[in-house]
Amino acid sequence: MKYFAVFGNPIKHSKSPIIHSLFSKQTGIKYDYNRICAPINSFSEVLKKFFLDGGNGANITLPFKEQAWTFADELSDRAFLSGSVNTLLKSTYGKIFGDNTDGIGLISDLKRLMMIHSNDHILLIGAGGAARAVILSLLSFGCSVVIVNRTVERAIYLTKIFKNQGSIQYTKFELLDGQHFDLIINATSSGISGKVPPLPTSLIFDEVRCYDMFYQQGLTPFLLWCQQNHAQRKNLADGLGMLVEQAAHAFQLWHGIMPKTTIIINQLQELI
C-alpha cells in the first residue's frame, strides 16, 4: 500500500488526514496517510528518511514550505514562482517533484462559489508566503491584482517577481480609501489573533466579494467586519474550501484522479 504524510510543526491540528480519508472512501483508492511532526531544525533529514523508507508523497505545511522548495529535485512552474512547495511526489525514477497547489486550490474554491470572474480587480491583503503562493493563479485566470501589506517593501518585491505574469501593482493601506475592487482576499494570519487588517470601510459595498484564506467555525474576524460594513452574506467565504481543493489537486498529482470536492467540503464543515 502506498504511503503518504503531511509534515509540519505543530501538526496535531491538521485536517489533512481527515480530508484524505474522505477522498479514499469516495474514490476507492486505498493508501496510508499520517501526520508527521518534524523537528524545526531537522526537517530535511526527516523528510529524506521518509522517502528512503518508501514514502510515495507528502504534503507540507507551516513552517516548512520554503524548505520543501529547496528539497525538491524538480519544481512545477507555479511552485518555482511561489518560492514554496506544499506537495511532493517521488517519481518512478527516484526524483522528488515539488508542486504548490495552494493557488489552484484557491481558484477552484472561488469558481465553485461563483466568486471570481476573469477581469476581476482584486485586492490581495498580505505579502507573505500565503499571498505569494496564489498570485500566479489569480493572474493566469485573467484578474488584475493589487497587493497591500504593512511592510510595503515586501509588496514591491512580489510585484517584481510576477510583473511578467499579468497586471499586478502594490499600494499602501492609507491609499486605499475610495478605491474599487470586485474581490478582496485576506491572505494574512490576522484572524488567528482576532484582528482585522486596517482597511477603510469605503472598500465595502453591496456587491463586493470577500474571501478569507483563514477559516474557523463561524465568520472569521475579517468576514465579520465585512458583513458589519454591509457586504452581503452570500458574498463572504472562508478558506475551508480552499483547504479541501488544494488537497484534491495534490491527490490528483499522486493518483491521477480528481475527487469531487463539494461533498467533502460539506462533510468537513460539519466536523469543525
Phi-psi region of 145 (alpha: psi -120 to 50; beta: other; left: phi over 0): beta
Cβ(26)–Cβ(32) below 8 Å = no
Q: Does residue 193 carry a pLDDT above 90?
A: no
What grid cell was written down for 204? 465595502
Task: Delimit the CATH 3.40.50.10860 region(s) of the chain.
Answer: 3-100+241-271
103-238: CATH topology: Rossmann fold (3.40.50)
What grid cell was written down for 98? 515539488
Average pLDDT of the chain, as a whole number:
97
pLDDT score of 152: 97
Distance CA 225, CA 157 (A): 29
Q: What is the pLDDT of residues 206-218, one digit of tens each?
A: 999 999 999 999 9
Query: Which residues are catalytic, by number?
Result: 65
| 3-class secondary structure per residue, the chain | CCEEEEEECCCCCCCHHHHHHHHHHHHCCCCEEEEEECCCCCHHHHHHHHHHCCCCEEEECCCCHHHHHHHCCEECHHHHHHCCCCEEEECCCCCEEEECCHHHHHHHHHHHCCCCCCCCEEEEECCCHHHHHHHHHHHHCCCEEEEECCCHHHHHHHHHHCCCCCCEEEECHHHCCCCCCCEEEECCCHHHHCCCCCCCHHHCCCCCEEEECCCCCCCCHHHHHHHHCCCCHHHEEECHHHHHHHHHHHHHHHHCCCCCHHHHHHHHHHHC
What grid cell was written down for 145? 491584482
pLDDT score of 65: 97
pLDDT score of 191: 86
What letter represents residue 3's amino acid?
Y
| Residue in 65, 29, 32, 31 with CA at minimum distance from that of residue 47 | 65
Percent share of the chain, pLDDT over 70:
100
Domain 3-100+241-271 top-level CATH class: alpha beta
Q: Does residue 114 carry a pLDDT above 80?
A: yes
| Residue in 84, 62, 111 with CA at minimum distance from that of residue 245 | 111
Cβ(85)–Cβ(99) below 8 Å = yes
Mean pLDDT confidence for 109-123: 98
pTM (2 decimals)?
A: 0.96
Distance CA 18, CA 15 (A): 5
Confidence of residue 260 (pLDDT cuts 50, 70, 90): very high
Task: Delimit the CATH 3.40.50.720 region(s) of the chain.
Answer: 103-238
Mean pLDDT confidence for 27-31: 97
Q: Does residue 122 carry a pLDDT above 80?
A: yes
Confidence of residue 271 (pLDDT cuts 50, 70, 90): confident
| Residue in 270, 269, 268 with CA at minimum distance from that of residue 16 | 268
